[in-house]
């Protein structure tokens, strides 16, 4: 065997495979194919089974192109179902660019109808989109003309457009809705989910180029219209407020004005007016500042109207009684500050009631200091002045108050007469309502009901009493003091003929650059009828340009005009007359109030009728002890004279102690009057008439103490 033969055999043996090697390699190849087959099968199961619906929808989306159809927003009504915001039909023009054969020719025809340039339309008609809007909210006549052109690829879709039939009425409250049917501001925004509804669709099957497939699928999914709102606001009361604010701005040159009318029992806002205003039908022409609801979203220094809160806290704590005596030399010194009264030389000796009538800053500073920071701030929190009221409106602001830990003597004193703090108008009128309704903070609300398109009630907003902040007797005592402010004090211009009115004036300096400037805020707030309140009202005039800027001079007459027409519109009978008696047809001449002290009820009634004056009784007993206005005052004929009956002990101003009267058999109102006249608080348990009391009758207690009475039905 040659060497070459050996090498040749060696080469053949190197490439030879054994049977085992062949089998292994065959199994490997088969396994590989099996794994690939299994992977492909699993992927197919995933795509065709588990993910079938997803990919089917993607395929449908590629060939099914839709145009959104807006629903009609729900209507917004006033409390008597009068329309304030409605949706009207407004067509929109859209195009499928792939179907438009000659974009330039189409643009030439559409331009005058849509009030657009040809170039702008050509750009839209040649865009690489399946569907493009050419113009939204097209007038009806123009939309019909577009339809008649029958341009391939150009169509018209019906949609809703917001319309406000009363123009500027309650504009800042209602807010505005945008071109895409969305709420942008005000109640339109806050209740957008309720009002908007559900969009519909116009669906058509198209090819890859975006052209509609002849005989392809077509589908119309109708929109679901939104639910409607029934507001607490009354259109007529809103109009009265806006009318009087317009007059006030014209008369006083004020920069702006605000008024809020509220039912103090339920918290329902009957009117919320601001001036200047805007037209929501053309909102883009106005600044955002004019569209702002300042009654809810802005804060201001309340000035002397805040003394209502200070008085409520002090009376409830027993720090003062209506008869507590003070001496005002015209100022009060607190640390290194001298806080002056508006009246040069001061008011001298006066009761707390008279200090409220006079709106005396030194007295209220002293009262706040006597209460202390901890006690006072507790009442500020209880009155809701450190937090939002929770009113159903977007962007509500929060009042700015000093914390107890940061409230030194100066801050405490100035807070007492409403300076150095800020509140929102809605917070202030909510606090006032607690005095009117017997001591409860109620949650203010703008919406009464949500109703469906068929008129059925979806949701009814029930009145919400948040908490009791002062006792019923405190509220009654403060109400009498505030009535005296209108009869005797700084609020005489707020009087409403035929009705007992309780209220308080306010004049505040406006801070500018960290210090007080020359600007003033004149305000007045009150409620009526005072003995059965139906309306609480706040009026604010910002920066009047008149020489005299006092709230009692400028804002009180606006309050009177609004309250007068509101009470008449609500058909609330006059409180001077009917059961308690009054004169009728009294002339407008001035008469002198007679001295009634010491007289019995029959003598009081005879004397007041002879003087052509109305009257109302307060207290329990047969002898007239106190009267308001005082004897000798000059008032209009027909003015209500409030006469307080009782015993001399009940009106002993010098005593710090009081004897608990026998309340057995009395109603809650009678018991509250008896205790309130003695400077005592009432804590009722049950309903009906008094069957038991604690402390017992004849006990001597400190003025301001609480007497628990247990009542049972007969």
Helix (H, G, I), strand (E, B) or coil at 300: strand
pTM (2 decimals)?
0.71
Q: Where are the domains of the chain?
A: 18-50, 65-228, 237-275+301-575, 655-712
Active site residues: 304
- For the residues 119-132, what does the mean pLDDT come to? 83
pLDDT of res. 569: 93
Tokens 């319309």 belong to 163
- Is 633 a residue whose pLDDT tops 90? no
Range 650-657, long-range pairs (CB < 8 A, 24+ positions): 650/619, 650/621, 650/625, 650/674, 650/677, 650/678, 651/323, 651/625, 651/626, 651/677, 653/323, 653/324, 653/325, 653/351, 655/703, 656/702, 656/703, 657/700, 657/701, 657/702, 657/703
- Is 362 a residue whose pLDDT tops 70? yes
pLDDT of res. 577: 44
**Quick one: DSSP state of residue 75?**
P
Tell me how many degrees the CA angle 448-437-684 measures, rounded to the nearest 5: 125
Q: For residues 422 and 401, give the distance between their C-alpha atoms in angstroms, rounded to a whole number.
A: 7
Q: For residues 631 and 135, give the distance between their C-alpha atoms in angstroms, rounded to a whole number.
A: 75
pLDDT of res. 563: 95
- CATH tag, 237-275+301-575: 3.40.710.10
For residue 660, name the pLDDT band (cuts at 50, 70, 90): confident
Helix (H, G, I), strand (E, B) or coil at 471: coil
- Is 710 a residue whose pLDDT tops 90? no
Which residue has better confidence, 679 or 49?
49
- Is 673 a residue whose pLDDT tops 70? no
* Residues 521-552: tens digit of each pLDDT: 999 999 999 989 999 999 999 999 998 889 99
Written as six digits, the tokens of 45 are 């199961």
Which H or E element spans position 235? Answer: helix 235-252
- Is 217 a residue whose pLDDT tops 50? yes
pLDDT of res. 206: 59
Q: Report the percentage of the chain scoring pLDDT > 90.
A: 45
Which residue has better confidence, 653 or 432?
432
pLDDT of res. 152: 87
The radius of gyration of the chain from alpha carbons, rounded to an integer in Å, stands at 38
Nearest in space to 583 (alpha carbons), one of 646, 516, 651, 497: 497
Q: Are 290 and 277 in contact (CB under 8 A)?
A: yes
Specify whether domain 655-712 bears CATH 3.40.50.1820.
no
Q: For residues 533 and 563, give the distance between their C-alpha atoms in angstroms, rounded to a whole number.
A: 12
pLDDT of res. 618: 64
634-648 as b/e: b if 16+ CB within 10 A = ebbbbbbbbbbbbbe
Written as six digits, the tokens of 243 are 């009318």
Which H or E element spans position 436? Answer: helix 425-436
- For the residues 16-36, what does the mean pLDDT come to? 78
Per the prediction, the chain carries an average pLDDT of 85
- Is 451 a residue whose pLDDT tops 60? yes
Helix (H, G, I), strand (E, B) or coil at 698: coil
Which H or E element spans position 553? Answer: helix 551-569
Which residues contact residue 286 at a Cβ distance below 8 angstroms, ignoring those fewer than 6 apart? 278, 279
* Residues 159-170: tens digit of each pLDDT: 667 889 899 999
- Is 173 a residue whose pLDDT tops 70? yes
Q: For residues 136 and 132, give the distance between their C-alpha atoms in angstroms, rounded to a whole number.
A: 11
Q: For residues 49 and 57, give the distance between their C-alpha atoms in angstroms, rounded to a whole number.
A: 14
- Is 650 a residue whose pLDDT tops 60? no
- Mean pLDDT check: name the lowest of 235-239, 369-373, 613-617: 613-617
- For the residues 561-587, what does the mean pLDDT come to? 67
Helix (H, G, I), strand (E, B) or coil at 231: strand
Q: For residues 319 and 651, give the distance between their C-alpha atoms in angstroms, rounded to a whole number.
A: 17
Written as six digits, the tokens of 271 are 């009117």
- For the residues 614-637, what does the mean pLDDT come to? 74
pLDDT of res. 127: 84
- For the residues 582-596, what does the mean pLDDT come to? 62
- Is 579 a residue whose pLDDT tops 50? no
Cα of 704 vs its chain's centroid, Å: 35
Q: For residues 432 and 535, give the distance between their C-alpha atoms in angstroms, rounded to a whole number.
A: 11
Tell me how many degrees the CA angle 521-527-529 measures, rounded to the nearest 5: 150
Q: For residues 237 and 392, give the distance between their C-alpha atoms in angstroms, rounded to a whole number.
A: 20
- For the residues 627-653, what does the mean pLDDT come to? 71
pLDDT of res. 586: 34
Written as six digits, the tokens of 90 are 């407004």
Domain 65-228, CATH among 3.90.1310.10, 3.30.450.20, 3.40.30.20, 3.30.70.20: 3.90.1310.10
């Amino acid at each position: 065997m040659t060497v070459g033969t050996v090498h040749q055999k060696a080469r053949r043996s190197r490439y030879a495979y054994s049977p085992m090697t062949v089998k292994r390699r065959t199994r490997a190849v088969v396994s590989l194919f099996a794994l690939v087959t299994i992977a492909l099968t699993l992927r197919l199961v995933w795509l065709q089974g588990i993910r079938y619906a997803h990919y089917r929808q993607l395929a449908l989306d590629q060939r099914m192109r839709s145009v959104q159809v807006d629903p009609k927003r729900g209507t917004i009504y006033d409390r008597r179902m009068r329309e304030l915001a409605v949706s009207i039909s407004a067509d929109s023009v859209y195009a499928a660019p792939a179907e438009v054969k000659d974009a330039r020719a189409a643009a030439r025809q559409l331009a005058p109808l849509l009030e657009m340039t040809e170039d702008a339309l050509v750009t839209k008609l040649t865009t690489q989109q399946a569907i493009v809007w050419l113009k939204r909210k097209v007038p009806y006549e123009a939309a019909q003309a577009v339809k008649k052109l029958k341009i391939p690829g150009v169509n018209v879709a019906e949609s809703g457009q917001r319309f406000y039939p009363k123009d500027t009425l309650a504009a800042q409250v209602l807010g505005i809705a945008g071109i895409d049917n969305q709420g942008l501001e005000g109640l339109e925004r806050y209740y957008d989910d309720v009002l908007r509804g559900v969009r519909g669709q116009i669906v058509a099957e198209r090819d890859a180029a975006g052209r509609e497939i002849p005989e392809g699928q077509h589908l119309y999914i109708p929109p679901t219209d939104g639910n409607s709102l029934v507001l607490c606001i009354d259109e007529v009361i809103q109009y009265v407020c806006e009318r009087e604010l317009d007059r006030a701005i014209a008369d006083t040159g004020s920069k702006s004005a605000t008024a809020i009318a509220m039912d103090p029992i339920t918290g329902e806002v009957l009117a919320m007016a601001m001036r200047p205003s805007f037209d929501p039908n053309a909102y883009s022409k106005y600044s955002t500042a004019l569209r702002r609801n300042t009654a809810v979203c802005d804060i201001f220094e309340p000035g002397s109207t805040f003394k209502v809160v200070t008085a409520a806290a002090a009376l409830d704590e027993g720090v003062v009684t209506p008869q507590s005596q003070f001496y005002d030399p015209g100022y009060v010194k607190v640390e290194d500050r001298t806080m002056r009264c508006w009246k040069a030389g001061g008011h001298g000796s006066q009761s707390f009631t008279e200090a409220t009538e006079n709106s005396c800053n030194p007295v209220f500073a002293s009262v706040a200091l006597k209460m202390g920071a901890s006690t006072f701030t507790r009442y500020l929190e209880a009155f809701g002045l450190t937090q939002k009221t929770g009113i159903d409106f977007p962007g509500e602001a929060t009042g700015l108050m000093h914390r107890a830990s940061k409230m030194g003597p100066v801050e405490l004193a100035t807070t007492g007469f409403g300076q150095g703090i800020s509140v929102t108008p809605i917070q202030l009128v909510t606090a006032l309502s607690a005095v009117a309704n017997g001591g409860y903070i109620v949650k203010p609300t703008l919406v009464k009901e949500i109703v469906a398109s068929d008129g059925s009630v979806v949701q009814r907003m029930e009145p919400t009493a948040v908490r009791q902040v002062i006792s019923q007797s405190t509220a009654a005592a403060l109400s009498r003091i505030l009535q005296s402010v209108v009869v005797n004090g700084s609020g005489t211009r707020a009087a409403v003929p035929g009705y007992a009115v309780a209220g308080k004036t306010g004049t505040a300096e406006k801070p500018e650059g960290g210090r007080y400037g020359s600007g003033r805020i004149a305000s007045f707030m009150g409620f009526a009828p005072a003995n059965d309140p139906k309306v609480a009202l706040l009026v604010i005039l910002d920066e009047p340009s008149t020489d005299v800027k006092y709230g009692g001079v400028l804002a009180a007459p606006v309050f009177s005009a609004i309250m007068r027409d509101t009470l008449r519109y609500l058909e609330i009978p006059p409180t001077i007359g009917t059961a308690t008696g009054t004169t009728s047809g009294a002339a407008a001449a001035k008469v002198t109030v007679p001295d009634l002290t010491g007289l019995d009820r029959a003598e009081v009634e005879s004397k007041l009728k002879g003087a052509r004056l109305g009257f109302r009784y307060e207290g329990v007993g047969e002898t007239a002890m106190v009267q308001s206005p005082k004897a000798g005052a000059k008032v209009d004929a027909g003015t209500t004279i409030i006469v307080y009956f009782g015993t001399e002990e009940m009106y002993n101003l010098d005593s710090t102690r009081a004897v608990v009267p026998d309340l057995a058999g009395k109603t809650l109102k009678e018991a509250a009057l008896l205790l309130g006249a003695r400077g005592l608080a009432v804590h009722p348990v049950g309903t009906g008439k008094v069957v038991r009391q604690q402390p017992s009758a004849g006990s001597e207690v400190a003025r301001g103490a609480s007497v628990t009475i247990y009542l049972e039905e007969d």
